[in-house]
Amino acid sequence: DAKTTQPPSMDCAEGRAANLPCNHSTISGNEYVYWYRQIHSQGPQYIIHGLKNNETNEMASLIITEDRKSSTLILPHATLRDTAVYYCIVANYGGSQGNLIFGKGTKLSVKP
């Protein structure tokens, strides 16, 4: 079973910030929080990851609470092309070692 809990769906107005929450209350000390997204039926796309500090890249920002039990992915200015399913995953650093467990994610719909 996935180690994370996400809302099944969210809406966001185009141009607004999209804030996607994720609960991971059983995260262990050496596990990172990863975010991927899947647009339509394409392969998942890496967005961002973090351990305990907030992270930002050209796609998004990741805010992790001090107790590391939850996090929020922020898309600062959502566009229609950001409509996708967003997956929050906790895993050991490095992925692809048999430890990426995908839940059902959050379906984000960006509306004009």
Partner 1 sequence: NAGVTQTPKFQVLKTGQSMTLQCAQDMNHEYMSWYRQDPGMGLRLIHYSVGAGITDQGEVPNGYNVSRSTTEDFPLRLLSAAPSQTSVYFCASSGGVHDTFGSGTRLTVV
Instruction: Check binding of 51 to partner 1 (CB under 8 A).
Output: no
9 is an interface residue for partner 1 by CB under 8 A:
no
Q: Is 81 helix (H, G, I), strand (E, B) or coil?
A: helix
**Is 45 among the residues that bind partner 1 (CB under 8 A)?**
yes
For residue 80, give every residue at least 6 positions away whose Cβ sits within 8 Å of its Cβ, in sequence order, or none. Answer: 14, 110, 112
Which member of 87, 90, 108, 110 binds partner 1 (CB under 8 A)?
87
Q: Rounded CA gap, 105 and 83, in Å?
A: 13
CA–CA–CA angle 107, 5, 17 (5° rounding): 45
Beta bridge partners of 24: none
Q: Please select the residue that binds partner 1; options are 29, 30, 43, 67, rule is CB under 8 A.
A: 43
Contact window for partner 1 (CB under 8 A) among 14-22, 59-67, 69-77, 94-102: 94-102
Q: Which residues bind partner 1 (CB under 8 A)?
A: 2, 34, 36, 41-46, 49, 87, 93-98, 100-105
